[in-house]
C-alpha cells in the first residue's frame, strides 16, 4: 500500500473510485486530497478520460527492471496508466507519490523513491 497526494488545478472536479466502490471528489482549481493505504483506484477526469492506479504488489515489469537503477528492484510496485502513457513506480515499505493535474488536464507525477515513464501496449494481437 502507498500514499497518493492529488492536486487538482484542472477546472473540473476529479472523481476518485477506490476498490470497494469508495467514491470521493477532488475539488477543481486548487483542490487537494491525500489518500493513504491505496491499492487499486480509478480517477475520472472530465473531458480527459480516466487514470488507473494499479497496485502491482511484488510483480515487476521485467522490461523496466535494471540492476543499475536500484529502485527498479524495490519490493513493491505501482503502475499508473493515463491516456496511453504509463508511469512505473517501485518502493520499499511505505511508498509516497504526488499526482498533479494542471490547468490543461496534464498529469504530472512525482515519486519519493524512483519512477519512470513507460510505454506498455494497450492491445497485443497474436
For the entire predicted model, the pTM comes to 0.92
Q: Where are the domains of the chain?
A: 2-118
- Percentage, residues of the chain above pLDDT 70: 100
Summarize the confidence of residues 2-18 as an average pLDDT.
Answer: 97
pLDDT digits (tens, 9 = 90+) for 33-69: 999 999 999 999 999 999 999 999 999 999 999 999 9
CATH topology of domain 2-118: Tumour Suppressor Smad4 (2.60.200)
Q: How far is Cα 20 from Cα 72, in angstroms, rounded to an integer?
A: 29
Choose among 80, 70, 57: nearest CA to 6.
80
pLDDT digits (tens, 9 = 90+) for 88-104: 999 998 899 999 999 99
| pLDDT for res 111 | 96
Amino acid at each position: 500500500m502507498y500514499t497518493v497526494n492529488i492536486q487538482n488545478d484542472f477546472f473540473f472536479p476529479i472523481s476518485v473510485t477506490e476498490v470497494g466502490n469508495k467514491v470521493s471528489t477532488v475539488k477543481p482549481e486548487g483542490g487537494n486530497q491525500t489518500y493513504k493505504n491505496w491499492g487499486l483506484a480509478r480517477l475520472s477526469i472530465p473531458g480527459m478520460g480516466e487514470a488507473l492506479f494499479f497496485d502491482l504488489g511484488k510483480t515487476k515489469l521485467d522490461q523496466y527492471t535494471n540492476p543499475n537503477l536500484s529502485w527498479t528492484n524495490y519490493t513493491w510496485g505501482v503502475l499508473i496508466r493515463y491516456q496511453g502513457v504509463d508511469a512505473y513506480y517501485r518502493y520499499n515499505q511505505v511508498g509516497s507519490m504526488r499526482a498533479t493535474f494542471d490547468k490543461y488536464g496534464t498529469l504530472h507525477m512525482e515519486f519519493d523513491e524512483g519512477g519512470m515513464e513507460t510505454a506498455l501496449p494497450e492491445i497485443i494481437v497474436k
